[in-house]
Structure 1
Amino acid sequence: MTSPYHQTYAERALNHENPAAKLLLETMERKKSNLAVSVDVTRSEDFLAIVDAAGPYVCLVKTHVDVLEDFDYSLVERLQELSKRHDFVIFEDRKFADIGNTVALQYSSGVYKIANWSHITNAHPVPGSSIVKGLSSVGLPLGRGLLLLAEMSTKGSLATGSYTEEAVRMARAHRDFVIGFIAQRRMDGIGAAPDEAPEDEDFLILTPGVGLESKGDGMGQQYRTPREVVLDSGCDVIIVGRGIYGSEFQPDTIAARAERYMAEGWAAYVERTSST
């Protein structure tokens, strides 16, 4: 089997059984975009303005709905409308980190009812495999997908070494629901002996910490370029937040920045899949 590094998104979509993984890969191929926008603002008006402006250029919108000070469930309905209009997948960056029963309730219930509308969510592997079992009991029947946080882009992150290896092993044991990782590089073969790594292994890699100018912020975030992330490290989706919307939510500016990131990310992907 050809390495996922060299395969097209369309080819890889054929190998995934999870509906959320297939949807994301097919959307990326259809839109010619491997860009995700991370919308971390506190007002619903700003949130929707950013999503609407960036929507035509992204394959995925990453949300943190719990930071919205004026959240109302009608916002979810408007987000879903924008998802259909602009053809993008929704990823609620919830980072679940509790026992199975608790995360199942957090995922299905409460104010946000994440499983009802978010195609993809994520979790820390710290609690062990029970967290995947709890989330999958809710998400799998709905066709959802889960990402595990194998690595993080912040300086001093503890998600390294054996922690990362255990995260990959956990994913291999739950491949029907775990579709990939938040990570800084491909995870192919990580944590497995050479004769143990599945030949058909293909986990999606979504990577935060992507920037075209800035190399970091004052709170430990570190940035790499789309080319470094997609071509050099073999990641699949570049996640960009402030680099797209900045501090002024002007639709024209957001669209122009998103289009630039989309072009840079896609060019790196084309170069990657064209290489041998």
Structure 2
Amino acid sequence: MAPHPVTTKTYASRAASHPNSTARRLLETMERKKTNLCVSVDVTKSAEILDIVRQVAPYVCMVKTHIDIVEDFTIDLAHELRRLADELDFVIFEDRKFADIGNTVELQYSSGVHKIASWSHLTNAHVVPGPGIITGLGAAGKPLGNALILLAEMSSAGNLASGEYTEKAVQMAREAGLDWVVGFIAMHRVDKADDPDFLVITPGVGLDVRGDGRGQQYRTPHEVVHDSGCDVIIVGRGIYKNKDAVAAEAKRYQEAGWKAYEERLQRTA
């Protein structure tokens, strides 16, 4: 099979036929708000998280959290994030990167302090444990209408998510079904021409720098969306490192990502 061609289908047309309600919501939000930007809010205080979210909300389709780094976490923070998602029109992606056996991840996802499945629309998992991780997370997430994406590639230098690992991730997604596994974290389109309509969500996006000195590598929105055919760009520190320009930076990335998408649509199929 040939590699997946860079799609010229609109987000709206893809939403219309998607079997997963979270993926539909995400694609519809992208079209409605004219944005493919996800902001990764990697700060450690609840008040700062909520402040950043409120500032970037007009420009994003999705907010990504690392809930286990929050020093003053209470479930009230999760409830407020969910309320803001409904009020300000975005999807919540908890970047948990589950990586254990099925029974354990089901409990990690549904229970404990964070109760991730109850408030996060989308989460992700490594495929190292095998397909049981997909089944275990699905037992908690599918009844709630949530969605799962698999780690097929990563943006850090020297990572091992490549080659056979990536191929295995795609195969597991095919076997799981698009009603639960809706796509991948990946740097490029990793699926094939006859695969379901998977979403490709891509970290390591920057307009001003190419790395952070800690192994992170950055590409521009044009390289990610237009050239590589990915669907959602993830940007973190580049947006909120200047606390006086959070909204302005979010708008700058939103415009760059949407321009790359519009230029992709202009390609001939």
TM-score, scaled to structure 1: 0.93
- Over residues 108-162 of structure 1, what are the superposed CA-to-partner deviations in whole Å (9 max), with x where a residue is unaligned? 0000100001000000000000000000011011100000000000000100001
SS of 1:249's partner is coil
Compute the displacement of 1:77 (Å). 1.6
- Residue in 1 aligned with 2:85? 83
Change (3 A) 1:258 1:7: same
CA RMSD of aligned residues (A): 1.2
- Residue in 2 aligned with 1:265? 257
1 CA distance for matches of 2:239 and 2:135? 35
2 CA distance for matches of 1:129 and 1:184? 22
- Residue in 1 aligned with 2:33? 31
- Over residues 188-236 of structure 1, what are the superposed CA-to-partner deviations in whole Å (9 max), with x where a residue is unaligned? 21xxxxxxx6x35211000000000010011100000000000000000
- Residue in 2 aligned with 1:180? 183
1:205 matched to 2:181: no
Say if 1:4 and 1:202, in contact at 8 Å, map to a contact too.
no
SS of 1:94's partner is strand
2 CA distance for matches of 1:34 and 1:57? 9
2 CA distance for matches of 1:187 and 1:151? 9
Say if 2:39 and 2:62, in contact at 8 Å, map to a contact too.
yes
1:249 matched to 2:212: no
2 CA distance for matches of 1:172 and 1:249? 42
SS of 2:176's partner is coil
- Percentage of identical aligned residues: 62
Match of 2:43 among 41, 44, 53: 41
Moved more, 116-125 or 12-21: 12-21
Compute the displacement of 1:82 (Å). 1.5
2 CA distance for matches of 1:221 and 1:127? 25
Compute the displacement of 1:80 (Å). 1.5
1:20 matched to 2:35: no
- Residue in 1 aligned with 2:218? 223
Match of 1:124 among 123, 126, 145: 126
SS of 1:155's partner is coil
1 CA distance for matches of 2:17 and 2:217? 33
Paired AA for residue 136 in structure 1: G
1 CA distance for matches of 2:6 and 2:136? 29
Matches for 1:231-246 after TM superposition, within 5 Å: 231-246=226-241
The runs of at least 4 consecutive aligned structure 1 residues that moved more than 2 Å come to none
Change (3 A) 1:271 1:83: same
SS of 1:95's partner is strand
Paired AA for residue 247 in structure 2: A
Compute the displacement of 1:84 (Å). 1.8
Compute the displacement of 1:18 (Å). 0.7
Q: Unaligned 5+ residue runs, structure 1?
A: 190-196
Q: Unaligned 5+ residue runs, structure 2?
A: none
Compute the displacement of 1:15 (Å). 2.1
2 CA distance for matches of 1:79 and 1:30? 20
2 CA distance for matches of 1:18 and 1:82? 22
- Residue in 2 aligned with 1:192? none
- Over residues 35-65 of structure 1, what are the superposed CA-to-partner deviations in whole Å (9 max), with x where a residue is unaligned? 0000000111111111110011000000001
SS of 2:137's partner is helix
Matches for 1:157-168 after TM superposition, within 5 Å: 157-168=159-170
- Aligned residue-pair number: 264
2 CA distance for matches of 1:134 and 1:19? 19
1:111 matched to 2:106: no
- Residue in 2 aligned with 1:148? 150
- Residue in 2 aligned with 1:193? none
Match of 2:267 among 267, 270, 275: 275
